[in-house]
Amino acid sequence: MRLLHTSDWHLGRSFHRENLIDAQAAFVDHLVDTVRTERIDVVAVAGDLYDRALPPVDAVRLFGEALRRIRDTGARAVLISGNHDSMARLDYATDLIDASGIHLRSSLESVGSPVLIDDDHGPVAFYGIPYLEPEIARPHWGLDERGHTAVLSHAMERVRADLAARPPGTRSVVLSHAFVSGGEPSDSERDISVGGASHVPLPVFAGTDYTALGHLHGRQTMAESVRYSGSPLAYSFSEEHQVKGCWIVDLGPAGLASAEFAEAPVPRPVARISGRIDDLLTGERWERYTGHWLQVTLTDPLRPAFPMDRLRERFPHTLVLDFAPDDRRPEDDRSWSRRTADRSESDLVLDFVDWARGEPATGAERDLVSAAFEDIRRREAAR
């Protein structure tokens, strides 16, 4: 049996206010092409299908199209909810949807009850473990211990107990949305530490042939049979060097046979660059970034005028602008009261301009500040 392991689609997500629905649709095109050309039998999606519990309409529409197109290839799909998804909404009508060959597992009741799919060597049991919020799962299962490790360990006990009752040679695949100890996070995962420590140890997943993980956005091999596929797109600038895609996993008669990573196309790469604005606008070495989504850090000693407008003339997809002068002035270690003693309101405003921009206000700016405070004084006197 050939599996495609993907996760963290985050349909409906934006990137610094840039709508990503077209890029996500391009990923779906690639996914469907891969399923067809690689003759995938089952697509396993390990959570965070949407970016939020109430996704926008275009995200719901794209999700529906993705599932329909996967089924049109002849493949089946097993999906779980992640911490960004609504368990209750994704669990709606799953009994009816199962009949179509799309298997959504998004409830505590379904944990330990597999989707059984046969190949030439017999059955493969797919166990879906949706994201488990500890303080929801713990009372539901009557557990005393708190935290992610406790609830996920109990979920895997249910999986192993069911598997032990099945005919010998039954192979198993677990889908789980969790933060496994030793995994490398990025800046775009939502914190899941509420309700207990967020990390779970790798041995929790012992006893199954393959574990398809979701939550962390970079592909990672935690063990030969335990892997993160990562997100299909970069959702933060910290992911600029990550290679996006999915795992293609082959199960033989004895279990895991191989796993190879299939890269996904990058609709628009992301990058972080830094330097002085004149060099960024004229230097040939920066030309390759003109089509990237950019986070730019300016290192000019003095803050340039209209920096974003100027940068976007060369780099139209600049999204984030930071300042880190490479020739900082000495910090003033005097107390606030000493720094403001005997300073007028207009002096304090001009001090702020000097601090924020790195150079004193111009004569015209000084006249403007003086006129503003004069107007305030006249209004106060007229009351």
Q: What is the pTM of this model?
A: 0.85
Task: Mark whether 337 and 255 lie in a shared domain.
Answer: no
The predicted pLDDT at position 379 comes to 85
Task: Mark whether 352 and 370 lie in a shared domain.
Answer: yes
For the stretch 242-298, pLDDT in tens is: 999 999 999 999 999 999 999 999 999 999 999 999 999 999 999 999 999 999 999
Task: Mark whether 135 and 33 lie in a shared domain.
Answer: yes
More confident residue, 238 or 378: 238
For the stretch 306-354, pLDDT in tens is: 999 999 999 999 999 999 998 765 555 666 566 666 688 888 888 888 7
Q: What is the CATH number of the domain that holds 174?
A: 3.60.21.10
Q: From CA 278, how far away is CA 283, in angstroms rounded?
A: 8
Task: Mark whether 44 and 66 lie in a shared domain.
Answer: yes
The predicted pLDDT at position 194 comes to 47
Task: Mark whether 293 and 161 lie in a shared domain.
Answer: no
The predicted pLDDT at position 332 comes to 58
Q: What domain count does the chain have?
A: 3
The predicted pLDDT at position 188 comes to 84
Task: Mark whether 287 and 369 lie in a shared domain.
Answer: no
Task: Mark whether 313 and 343 lie in a shared domain.
Answer: no
Q: What DSSP designation does 200 have?
A: E
DSSP per position, 239-268? GTTPPPEEEEEEEETTEEEEEEEEEPP-SS
The predicted pLDDT at position 195 comes to 42
% of the chain surpassing 70 pLDDT:
94
For the stretch 185-232, pLDDT in tens is: 888 887 765 444 578 999 999 999 999 999 999 999 999 999 999 999
- For 263, other C-beta atoms within 10 Å of its C-beta total 11
What are phi and psi for residue 126, nearest 5 degrees?
-100, 115
- The stretch 52-60 carries a mean pLDDT of 97
Task: Mark whether 8 and 153 lie in a shared domain.
Answer: yes
- Domain of residue 376, residue span: 332-383
Task: Mark whether 147 and 227 lie in a shared domain.
Answer: yes
